[in-house]
Amino acid sequence: MKIYGIESNEIILREIGIRIRDTRIAIALTQKELAERAGISQRTVERVENGENVKVENIINILRAMQLLQNLDNLIPEQVIRPTELLDGSKKRVRATSKKRPNVTIEWKWGDEE
């Protein structure tokens, strides 16, 4: 299933669990072997694969054990600071300006002139 970002947390957790399970099976690991490599319990691996709410640390341990941790770079890319931003130290705020009115001068009269 493709994740578009409109799914509920439960659906996304279930999909992550399915992907971890499918990858574990593809690399020929049992849940017990994965748990040992990740330094977590087999029950935690079961909970992850079932899409249950677990600590992020456990998912990181599983990804590391399956040699997939480097894929987090694709998930949350590192932000690169431009050199010009380093010179200033911070971005300068730009104030909102009002719309410029045309400079029109109206000749004023008292009303008793002709």
Q: pLDDT, tens digit, for every residue of 68-101?
A: 998 888 888 888 877 777 676 655 666 677 666 6
Q: Which residues, at least 6 apart from 45, have a Cβ–Cβ distance to it below 8 Å?
A: 31, 34, 35, 38, 62
Domain boundaries, the chain: 9-73
pTM comes to 0.67
Angle at 32 between CA 9 and CA 57, to 5 degrees: 40
Query: Which CATH topology does 9-73 take?
Result: 434 Repressor (Amino-terminal Domain) (1.10.260)
Lowest-confidence segment of 25-29, 44-48, 96-100, 107-111 by average pLDDT? 96-100
Q: Mapping DSSP to helix (H, G, I), strand (E, B) and coil, where does residue 79 land?
A: coil
- The answer on pLDDT for 64 being more than 70 is yes
Amino acid found at 47? R
Q: What is the pLDDT of residue 80?
A: 80
Could you read off the pLDDT of 7-25 as tens digits, one per residue? 899 999 999 999 999 999 9
